[in-house]
Structure 1
Amino acid sequence: MSVPPSEHEQQQHQRWELLRRLDRLTNLPMTLLAFVWLALLIVDLTAGLSSFWQTVSNLIWVLSILDFLLALLVAPDRTRYLRANLLTAFSLLLPALRILKIFRAFRALRLLRATRSINLLRLLTSLNRGLKAVGGAVRQRGLGYVVLLTTILTLGGAAGMLAFERSQTPGGPGLNTYPEALWWTAMLMTSLGSDYWPVSLEGRLLTFLLALYALAVFGYITAAIASLFIDQDRKQAPLGGSNPSSLETELRAIRQELNALRAERTGQQDP
């Protein structure tokens, strides 16, 4: 005899169901806002944001905080939910440093390393939110999904490399423009490499993380593309180089012979 669920268990189930409905309701708009926020971060790291776009970025940040707090309020186990979304919570705390103008204080005190370290954390956490947004938008984890992830990491990684390395080599060899940083990052992601090696600690750390991703994914992309070409060749080339009509004739003849042998064998076994 089954025991009916208690009132507490029923409330827990209802709250989980409400959390799933809330996630379905806000998934699409928050996914789009995550991509916009990541794009604004790339622009901020490479060229800086105007007052209008900074306001847009702050508005997206506020909406993201409200969405996170609402989900945290509805979640039956808040500690469990917070642990599962710790990077998201951390990414929502970092923009407060810009709102509080701590970046200006860092510049005034010439603590450039602290500024770059915070920018690295902003970039990594924003990329994490962008990758989660891709995971929520793309259901099939195929070649297209991996290519989209790689593109986002390449664009974001190039912005970070420019922000970390531009001040290291002003006017000299290195990464002084976003196209140069994008080319360098693309070469890193394809495992080809470049003559330039990062100077800043943050640039080296970001390079290491991008290289780990490239090492894990580039082989998969190469194998998937090769498999795609092989499948196309198999579809275009008939089996054994023969005409499809002749193959059908041969198969029909073999089928007739098998039917004749089966009929002969059946006749021999009859009394």
Structure 2
Amino acid sequence: MRQQIERWRALKDLDDWLRAPMLMLSLAWLALIVIDLTGETSPLLGNLAVVIWIIFIAEFVIRFVLAPRKRAFLKRNWLTLIALIVPALRLFRALAILRAARGLRLIRIVTTANRSMRALQATLRRRQFGYVTALTGLVIALGAAGMLNFEPASEVEGGFAGYWDALWWTAMLLTTIGSQFWPVTTEGRVLALLLSIYGLAVLGYLTATIASFFIGRDAEDHDAPVAGAAELAELKAEVAALRRAIESSRATPPG
């Protein structure tokens, strides 16, 4: 039991120590994935991606060794494990298995978004609005790169002519405005569906945040149509004072 506690403590200390470096590496990895999906990569950037990937593997192995419960650790980090395996499967490109390669690119996009999400969540744990804003920006950037890769104008009629075109379309999709173009490929449709689900979730969060803001302002306003928190506090104080007065009068002997 004591050994497990020490392992959990060591794992927590490691996570705290690596939080900022892993966030920077996760953002760099996401940028490299975006560049690779848009077809603008270079041997130098490819080597940098390999180095970051090896660092991710080493970090995962160390955390796995320190974890007291291996099965629970793998169950909680299975998507991260897939994110580490997928880059090694890029050999499928050399085998000219196009459909498998496109499916792997879709998995790569999802797992990259998951890694960035977890890194941001660990850093902006107490700043929920900032976390959602930053994550939305990353999702738009990564989603646009994926849509350009799956739906290029050279292969799909009415597809995206460039990254900025895909970026605008992805932003419109997340704001539920949409456009006249809809994906044709299976991978593009799946990615568009995931982006739409995320957009609906963010829209619900923003609606709740704005409602909470105005409710909080009304709670501090004495002239609001509904009794606010300040008025309720004053009412509770008056009731408590009245209760003390009644108890005091009961304790006083008559005459």
TM-score (normalizing by structure 1): 0.76
Residues 1:26 and 1:143: Cα distance change in structure 2 (over 3 Å): closer
* 1:17-166 pair list within 5 angstroms: 17-98=9-90, 101-106=91-96, 111-166=97-152
Residue-pair matches, total:
236
Larger Rg: 1
Query: What is aligned with 1:244?
Result: none
Query: What is aligned with 1:243?
Result: none
Deviating more after overlay: 198-207 vs 222-231: 222-231
Query: What is aligned with 2:201?
Result: 216
**Pairing partner for 2:161 from 170, 173, 176:** 176
Counterpart secondary structure, 2:181: coil
Residues 1:231 and 1:84: Cα distance change in structure 2 (over 3 Å): closer
8 Å CA contact retained: 2:92, 2:101: no
CA deviations on 1:145-187 (whole Å, 9 max, x unpaired) are: 22222111111111110000016646x5221211110111111
Counterpart secondary structure, 2:94: helix
| 1:188 is aligned to 2:188 | no
Deviating more after overlay: 142-151 vs 206-215: 142-151
Q: For the residues of structure 1 that align with 2:183 and 2:92, how far apart are their CA atoms?
A: 26
Q: For the residues of structure 2 that align with 1:93 and 1:121, how far apart are their CA atoms?
A: 10
Q: 1:223 Cα shift? A: 4.6
Residues 1:26 and 1:200: Cα distance change in structure 2 (over 3 Å): same
Q: For the residues of structure 2 that align with 1:180 and 1:140, how far apart are their CA atoms?
A: 34
8 Å CA contact retained: 2:25, 2:52: yes
* 1:191-202 pair list within 5 angstroms: 191-202=176-187
User: Root-mean-square deviation (CA), in Å?
Assistant: 2.9
- Which residue identity lines up with residue 68 of structure 2 in the other structure? P
- Which residue identity lines up with residue 123 of structure 1 in the other structure? I
Gaps of 5+ in 2: 225-244
Gaps of 5+ in 1: 1-8, 241-261
CA deviations on 1:9-35 (whole Å, 9 max, x unpaired) are: 121221111111111122211121011
8 Å CA contact retained: 1:168, 1:199: no
- Which residue identity lines up with residue 167 of structure 2 in the other structure? L
Q: For the residues of structure 1 that align with 2:219 and 2:100, how far apart are their CA atoms?
A: 56
- Quick one: percent identity of the two aligned structures? 41
Residues 1:220 and 1:18: Cα distance change in structure 2 (over 3 Å): closer
Runs of 4+ in 1 over 4 A off after TM superposition: 225-235, 237-240
Q: 1:204 Cα shift? A: 0.2
8 Å CA contact retained: 1:127, 1:153: yes
* 1:208-247 pair list within 5 angstroms: 208-225=193-210, 228=213
- Which residue identity lines up with residue 73 of structure 2 in the other structure? Y
Q: 1:140 Cα shift? A: 2.1
Q: For the residues of structure 1 that align with 2:163 and 2:214, how far apart are their CA atoms?
A: 34
- Which residue identity lines up with residue 126 of structure 1 in the other structure? T
